[in-house]
Structure 1
Amino acid sequence: MNIIDSNEVVKKLINNNKMVLVYFGSKTCGVCSAMKPKVEEVLKIYPKIRSIQVDVEKSMQVSATYDIFTIPAILVFIEGKETIREARYISMQDIERKISRYYDLIFE
């Protein structure tokens, strides 16, 4: 996942791609460090999803724009609209199931 620190870049990616996963985390967050590889594993299953990471400590403005109050947080945008939002206690099985349903509708 590429680390993005600009609202403009995030908005452009969301608006120019059918499906985008935005992962909000921090290097100092132990849960975030454990969660990131799991998110990357799910993304390998769905290669057409564009994914980016936002470091909340370095990009507070981006975090504020998307109302991120706790980390880790995962937002999935489909055709420019926020469709999935999970934060703090994230079940990767639930995320994968939700992503799968939309992915099949959009890409297959």
Structure 2
Amino acid sequence: MKEVIELTSVMEIDDFLKKNELSFLYVSTPGCSICHALLPKLQELLSRYPLIIFGHIDAGKVQEVAGKFLILSAPVMLLMIGQKEVLREDRFVRFDVLQEKLDRIYRMFNGENNPEV
């Protein structure tokens, strides 16, 4: 399972994005059953991508995250290269489609043409 780094402030989020060239942010809310169900599935999926650093933000604790990333509902998943958003998925996620998108972006990030990650 992929390690999850808990981000508890906007400053921590900013530092996380500055330090990690390829990162995945997962924004959830405390009372969201979908959010809680998706977290272990994301950990499993992201374990295929060793260069992606996985950060979790509880929007109940870091309320400013909604304004920072223009989030209207939870859960939200953001793949970031540097501090730029390159992929956004929200609410109901098809993991097969998400994996295809991650594969494509991951290969491009690594300069690979190989279809297998």
The two structures have a TM-score, normalised by structure 2, of 0.85
- Aligned-pair CA distance for 1:17: 1.7
Residue 36 of structure 1 is matched in structure 2 by: 39
Q: Is the 8 A contact 1:20 1:77 kept in 2?
A: yes
Aligned counterparts of 1:104 and 1:33: Cα–Cα separation in 2: 29
Task: Output the amino acid matched with 2:55.
Answer: I
How much is the aligned-residue C-alpha RMSD, in angstroms? Answer: 1.3
Q: In the alignment, is residue 60 of structure 1 matched against residue 57 of structure 2?
A: no
Report the secondary structure of 1:104's partner residue: helix
Report the secondary structure of 2:70's partner residue: coil
Q: In the alignment, is residue 20 of structure 1 matched against residue 23 of structure 2?
A: yes
Runs of 4 or more above 3 Å deviation: none
Please list every run of 5 or more consecutive structure 1 residues that lacks an aligned counterpart in the other structure. Answer: none
Report the secondary structure of 1:35's partner residue: helix
Identity of aligned residues (%): 27
Residue 77 of structure 1 is matched in structure 2 by: 80
Task: Output the amino acid matched with 1:4.
Answer: L
Report the secondary structure of 1:58's partner residue: coil
The two structures have a TM-score, normalised by structure 1, of 0.91
Please list every run of 5 or more consecutive structure 2 residues that lacks an aligned counterpart in the other structure. Answer: 113-117
Which residue of 2, 6, 15 corresponds with 1:3?
6
